[in-house]
Amino acid sequence: DTEVTQTPKHLVMGMTNKKSLKCEQHMGHRAMYWYKQKAKKPPELMFVYSYEKLSINESVPSRFSPECPNSSLLNLHLHALQPEDSALYLCASSQLQGYEQYFGPGTRLTVT
Partner 1 sequence: ILNVEQSPQSLHVQEGDSTNFTCSFPSSNFYALHWYRWETAKSPEALFVMTLNGDEKKKGRISATLNTKEGYSYLYIKGSQPEDSATYLCALTMDSNYQLIWGAGTKLIIKP
- Decide if residue 1 touches partner 1 (CB under 8 A): no
Are 20 and 78 a contacting pair, CB within 8 Å?
yes
Among 24, 81, 104, 109, binds partner 1 (CB under 8 A): 104
Considering only CA atoms, which of 22, 36, 11 is closest in space to residue 112? 11
CA–CA dist 37, 4 (Å, integer): 17
Nearest partner of 74 among 47, 56, 36, judged by Cα? 47
- CB 15 to partner 1: min, Å: 26
Task: State whether residue 31 is helix, strand or coil.
Answer: strand
Q: Which is nearer to partner 1, 16 or 39 (CB)?
A: 39
Query: By rule CB under 8 A, what string of x and - marks binding of each residue 28-67 to partner 1?
Result: ------------xxxx-x--x------xx-----------
Task: Note the residues at the interface with partner 1 (CB under 8 A).
Answer: 40-43, 45, 48, 55-56, 90, 97-106
